[in-house]
Amino acid sequence: MNASPVTRIDKDMENDKFWQYPKLPILWVATLAMMVIQKTGLVKIIWRTVAKNLPAVSEVAKKAKTSRALDIIYDYERKPLPELKIPSLKSWRKFIVETVMRFLFEIRHCQGARNRLKIVKWLIGKEGRRIPLEKTWKLLVIACGSSRASLEAVAERKKIGGQSTVILVDKSPRALAKAMALATSLGIADMVVAIRGDAMKIADLVKDFQPDTVEAVGLTDYLTDKDTIALINAINGLLVEGGKLITGNIAPNTEKPFVKIVFCWSMIYRTLTELRRIALASKFPQHGIEIFTEPLGMFYLLVLSK
Ligand SMILES: C[S@@+](CC[C@H](N)C(=O)[O-])C[C@H]1O[C@@H](n2cnc3c(N)ncnc32)[C@H](O)[C@@H]1O
């Protein structure tokens, strides 16, 4: 098998490993506790308490697999810990809420997701600069969610006088509405078309559109190997010669049971070998395979050149 090298991107990445090891036993205990609680009536009471005190956590668990859950993780920012005033219950509550928020939104899964977004922004940004300014950059974003990386790259290109045509595809009207709102706020809505549909029917959805670049990140984590290869091959059929597909997958890691049981977020985790095997089984040439990762090793990004 061609051992396509993996490039680790470290610059500007979150890489707080120090607390992750002491955290692990707590995550596993929470996972076991949740497995037991799920069999009792207590589960509703617990989620009601979480919804009241930690609405962001409750929403991630309710909207796992959707772009809403990812947006909450992307938008998380560490706040200063509130001052503890010993007799004040309110100050204790605020302190505990902020501590739990830090604990959960800074697990490697969340840090890795934010790192992945930064790498996608960098990769798409490079694409926006690769296509000559006198040509219209054709970009297709599949399972776009809020489509931050691609839309920001299009806005950057516009600033230097470049035209783009973007097609956004998602099965969720909410995700498409969010992406269009972002396009409007970036002043590029006239360059963007949103199509609601199933990624597995991409060739029918976009007809004769021949993109220079396709972004499909956060989708293969929910697809079998067979469907992933079928999707990659369909994208290969659409891309212009020399065009690029940016995709990727979550990597196996010790937080998987917690993310699955507590965040109710099931995914297909793939090793580097499994990801390479998929790339090699596709119609993309071997020499066009590049793999990137972030410092925590939670996510791989796969770039395939036609
Ligand atoms: C985890 S989010 C990823 C969003 C975005 N690409 C990102 O990386 O932030 C997955 C998105 O894929 C969409 N999706 C899942 N399966 C799909 C399918 N078969 N066809 C089209 N969209 C799909 C969901 O609606 C959701 O917006």
Q: Is 173:196 a contact under the CB 8 Å cutoff?
A: yes
**What three-state secondary structure class fits 283?**
coil
Are 102 and 166 found together in one domain? no
Q: Is 6:272 a contact under the CB 8 Å cutoff?
A: yes
Domain-ending residue, one of 88, 109, 130:
109
**Assigned domain for 63 exists:** yes
Q: Quick count: other Cβ atoms within 10 Å of Cβ 55?
A: 11
Query: 8: CA distance to ligand 1 center in Å?
Result: 25
Q: What CA–CA distance (Å, rounded) separates 291 from 277? A: 12
State the average pLDDT for the chain: 93
> Which pLDDT band holds residue 3 (cuts at 50, 70, 90)?
low
- What are the CA-CA distances from residue 252 to residues 82, 144, 187, 291 (Å)? 35, 23, 39, 16
Categorise residue 187: left if φ over 0, alpha if ψ from -120 to 50, beta otherwise.
left
**Assigned domain for 143 exists:** yes
Q: What CA–CA distance (Å, rounded) separates 120 from 113? A: 11
More confident site: 21 or 250: 250
The β-bridge relationship of strands 289-293 and 164-170 is unpaired
Q: What CA–CA distance (Å, rounded) separates 230 from 228? A: 5
Domain-ending residue, one of 109, 140, 171:
109
Are 146 and 290 found together in one domain? yes
Q: What CA–CA distance (Å, rounded) separates 58 from 235? A: 35
- What are the CA-CA distances from residue 32 to residues 10, 28, 48, 197, 262 (Å)? 34, 6, 19, 38, 9
Q: Is 119:9 a contact under the CB 8 Å cutoff?
A: yes
Average pLDDT over residues 76-85: 85
State the closest ligand 1 atom to the C-alpha of 216, by its place in the atom list counted from 1: 6
Are 249 and 287 found together in one domain? yes
Specify the CATH number for the domain of residue 202: 3.40.50.150
Are 177 and 300 found together in one domain? yes
Are 58 and 150 found together in one domain? no
Domain-ending residue, one of 84, 109, 134:
109
Average pLDDT over residues 136-157: 97
Q: pLDDT tens digits, residue range 169-216?
A: 999 999 999 999 999 999 999 999 999 999 999 999 998 899 999 999
Are 158 and 123 found together in one domain? yes
Q: What CA–CA distance (Å, rounded) separates 32 from 4? A: 38
- Split into its structural domains, the chain has a count of 2
Are 102 and 149 found together in one domain? no
- Mutate-to-test residue for ligand 1 from 67, 118, 142, 206, highest number of ligand atoms within 8 A of CB: 67
- pLDDT reading at 89 higher than 80: no
Range of the domain at 267: 116-305
Are 280 and 189 found together in one domain? yes
Are 139 and 275 found together in one domain? yes
Query: 89: CA distance to ligand 1 center in Å?
Result: 41
Q: Confirm or reject: Cβ of 144 under 6 Å from ligand 1.
A: yes
Are 252 and 171 found together in one domain? yes
Provide Rg for the chain, Cα atoms.
21
Query: 66: CA distance to ligand 1 center in Å?
Result: 6
Q: What CA–CA distance (Å, rounded) separates 29 from 49? A: 19
**Assigned domain for 7 exists:** no
Closest residue by Cα to atom 1, ligand 1, is 218
Show the tokens assigned to 136: 């219209």
The DSSP code for 200 is G
State the closest ligand 1 atom to the C-alpha of 71, by its place in the atom list counted from 1: 9
- pLDDT reading at 26 higher than 60: yes
